[in-house]
Every structure is written in C-alpha cells, then in structure tokens.
DNA sequence: AGGTTATTTAACCGATGAGCTAAGTACATG
DNA sequence: CATGTACTTAGCTCATCGGTTAAATAACCT
C-alpha cells in the first residue's frame, strides 16, 4: 500500500543521512560514489537511500555511461513548503503582519461593498502583534 | 537512542493522521476526545500520535481538570522551515531573483574592496523569502 | 572476450512504528 | 465513597526500515 506523496516525502526527510545527501546535492549534481564518500556505510545502503529519495520525488537521476548522476528535484520540496505554509502564521511575524494587512484590506473592501456589514469573526488567532523582528 | 530534533520532527510529519491532527489544531486548541473524533481509530492510537507530536515539538499540552488540551507549538515548524530554506532557490522563483540581486550587490561590494577577489559561496543562509501569498 | 568500475538487487537481521485490547490513572461529581 | 469521563500505559502483533554481505547488472577499456 503506497503512502500518499507528502507522507513519503516527509518520511524520506526524516533520516539524517538522506538530509545530508540532499545538502550535498544542493551544491550540484553528482554521482553515487561521490555521495557515498562522507558516510561510514556500505554502498548498497546509500543506494537504498537514493531510491527512497527518488521515490519521494526529492531527487531525480540521469544516466551517463556507468554513472547515475543525482540532482535535486524541486517539486516535492515545493509541496512540503506549501503544506508548511498552512502553519506559517504560527511562527512568522512578518507573515502575520502581512496577514493582518490583507485582512484589513478585505474588511475595507467589504465595508465599501455593503454598508450594513456583518463581520464574520473568522479571525484566526490571537491579535498580539506589535513586535518587530530583527 | 533519541534522534536529532529535525529527524523526529520530520518523522512525526510523515504520518497522515498526525498531519490531520495538526491541521485541526491550526484552527485552535482542543481536547484529545475532540481530536480523535474524525478518525476510525482507537483512543490509545490517537494518544500515541499526540505523544509523538509532542516529542517532536510540534504541539504542546496543558492540563485543565481531566482534559489535556493540545495546541500547535511553533518552534519545530520554524526549524523545518529553516531547513527547507536551504533549498528554496530550487523552486521559488522570487527567491531566486532576490538571491541573484544579493549576489550582485555582494560582488560589487567585493569588487570595490579588493579588485582581485575570488567569489566562492552562494548566499543561501540569509533569512530572505520573497514569498507572496494568495 | 575478459577485466575494471559504478551501481543495484537479493536475502537476511534487529529495531522501530502503527495499530489493537485491556487495564490503569486522574479528576469531577452525585 | 462510587461512578463516570478523559485520557495514558502495558503488552501484544505485524509491517516497514536501516543496515549488512554476497551476487548481479551495466557500461567502459583494453
């Protein structure tokens, strides 16, 4: 039973070896041998990790003679970022300011549209903002 | 043997039930019973999931009489976002533009400082995100 | 063809993870 | 104190995961 894409992506990211591999690939495409070097681990183990990363959509692999160069694949990263976005307001102060601004603008717009505006209290969370980030 | 924080956080996020719980908590603090309702699963199973989420730093729990209200805890989300930031340039176009701009500026700065300067690393470490929501 | 290099597959092992049921704990109230 | 409500812990099962070694595949190079 295959997991949903987001689950397999998160599962792939849950291993420090695999994250280290991704960090290396962020510097540029490279071979399996090269990727394996920093690790005190057999080659098949690395091969398995790469399979997991590929299946999670975090890397893609080409073919050049006997090498299988690996590189970062953006899609799954983007998907993770998108999911994380649902929670950004919980920690990102500048996001909160933007969110507040958008809400204000929306409220004004609504007020203009219908003078007898009944405000729906869909205000998400606490209103404490006034902090400034450094 | 405890995993590093990022690993346990990603591992916690790799389960769809747990992500659904987090999505529910994004709407506001609530009890275990309330959280369990949508799932066709025993209460102990939910309890375990919550333990995993708490240990991963994704939620925190209070005590009110016999209830243990759960709420989102920002820190681990932020850490995941931070890690993801190392790869943002691979998919975020506006980030790329900003990145390019910063590099240009840096290059100019360097050129001014020492005419024969060698440039080496990219500037991915900055907390810049050219995100536009909508 | 035969050998070297790069990488994967197969078969196995111990540990962890997600689910269950049954029993235990903590608090509230009749 | 007894009962009910809200949860957690204990103990089990079964599947998956991360690692191993040994063997297989694939492409290049005499």
**Contact assessment for residue B94 and residue B56, using Cβ atoms and an 8 Å cutoff:** no
Which domains are assigned to chain A? 5-74 (1.10.10.10)
Distance CA A119, CA A107 (A): 8
Do the beta carbons of residue A84 and residue B23 sit within 8 Å? no
pLDDT tops 50 at residue A68: yes
- The predicted pLDDT at position A114 comes to 56
Distance CA B8, CA A11 (A): 10
Q: State yes or no: pLDDT of B40 exceeds 80.
A: yes
Integer Cα distance of B68 and A123 in angstroms: 24
Mean pLDDT score across all residues of chain A: 84
- Residue at minimum CA to C1' distance from nucleotide D9: B44
- What pLDDT band is residue A103 in, cutting at 50, 70 and 90? confident
Give residue-wise pLDDT tens across range B45-62. 999 999 999 999 999 999
Report the protein residue whose CA lies nearest the C1' of nucleotide D26.
Answer: A66
Q: Which residues touch strand C (CB under 7 A)?
A: A 31-34, 43-44, 46-48, 50-51, 61, 66-69; B 1, 11, 14-15, 17, 40-42, 44-45, 48-49, 52, 63, 65-66
Q: Which value, in Å, is the radius of gyration of the alpha carbons in chain A? A: 22
**Where residue B115 falls among pLDDT bands split at 50, 70, 90?**
low
Which range has the top average pLDDT, A97-111, A116-130, B83-97?
B83-97
Closest CA to B83 of A41, A51, A18: A18
What token pair was written down for A109? 């717009």
Q: Give A60-103 as a 3 state SS string.
A: EECCECCECCEEECHHHHHHHHHHHHCCHHHCCHHHHHHHHHHH
B-contacting residues of A 85-124, CB under 8 Å? 85-88, 90-92, 95, 98-99, 102
């Amino acid at each position: 039973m295959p997991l949903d894409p987001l689950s397999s992506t998160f599962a792939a990211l849950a291993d420090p070896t695999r994250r280290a591999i991704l960090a290396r690939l962020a510097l540029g495409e490279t071979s399996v041998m090269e990727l394996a070097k920093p690790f005190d681990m057999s080659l098949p183990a690395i091969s398995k990790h790469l399979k997991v990363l590929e299946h999670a959509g975090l890397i893609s692999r080409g073919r050049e003679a006997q090498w299988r160069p690996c590189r970062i694949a953006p899609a799954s990263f983007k998907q993770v970022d998108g999911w994380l976005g649902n929670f950004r307001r919980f920690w990102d102060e500048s996001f909160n300011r933007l969110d507040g601004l958008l809400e204000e603008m929306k409220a004004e717009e609504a007020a203009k549209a219908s003078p007898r505006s009944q405000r729906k209290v869909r205000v998400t969370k606490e209103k404490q903002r006034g902090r400034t980030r450094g």
